[in-house]
Amino acid sequence: MRKSVKLRDGSEVIIRKMRRDDVDKSFAFFQKLSAEDRKYLRKDVTKYEIVKERIRTMKADKVRRLAVLYGGEIVAEGSLELETEDWKKHVGELRLIVALDFRRKGVGTLLAKELYLLAARKRVEEIVVKMMQPQTAAISIFKRLGFSEAPKLSQQVRDLSGSQQDLIVMRCKLQTLLQEMEDFLAVSDWQRTR
């Protein structure tokens, strides 16, 4: 899978599957993120071995990773994590992060749509996202895409600075997510051509 896509500002990006030889590009992407953005990630991606392990886990067929590239550099990454236990195989977890310079250009929504298509091919029925309470912008975006918040888990996780945070779990049926993304992209396209 490899697609060339024009963004709202007219720039062109490539969306493709993450490859094993993307370790250096992925590491460089994470190094450019602000400390505040990295603070809420599950793993300390300032460590090369951690980034290498993330990409290595793709072999297990449980994690599907996509990269968005601009000028040969990764500017966004997303993943669909599939459950392997029978009682949860209908659920997939979506994760994505976009470089600051590429936010508000539609990159996140385009990446989410590609991950949706991967989920549909894997017969996933419901998508889950997990965030920490301070990630208000991300929570707002997922609400706009049709996700609903489950009861928060108070002080459930620690951010990378060691502070305890509430865990926000949001869910969305796959069909609802597709409709919301199509509506969002249609409005964006209409505004772009006005």
Quote the CA–CA distance of 187 and 189 in Å, as a whole number.
5
Predicted confidence band of residue 88 (pLDDT cuts 50, 70, 90): confident
Query: How many independent structural domains does the chain possess?
Result: 1
Residue type, 56: R
- The arithmetic mean of pLDDT across residues 55-67, rounded, is 84
pLDDT tens, position by position, 148-180: 998 889 999 999 999 999 999 999 888 776 666
162: domain CATH number is 3.40.630.30
What pLDDT score does 120 carry? Answer: 86
pLDDT tens, position by position, 1-16: 899 999 988 999 999 9
Domain of residue 170 covers 2-192
Percent helix, strand and coil across the chain, each to the nearest 5: 40, 30, 25
What pLDDT score does 73 carry? Answer: 97
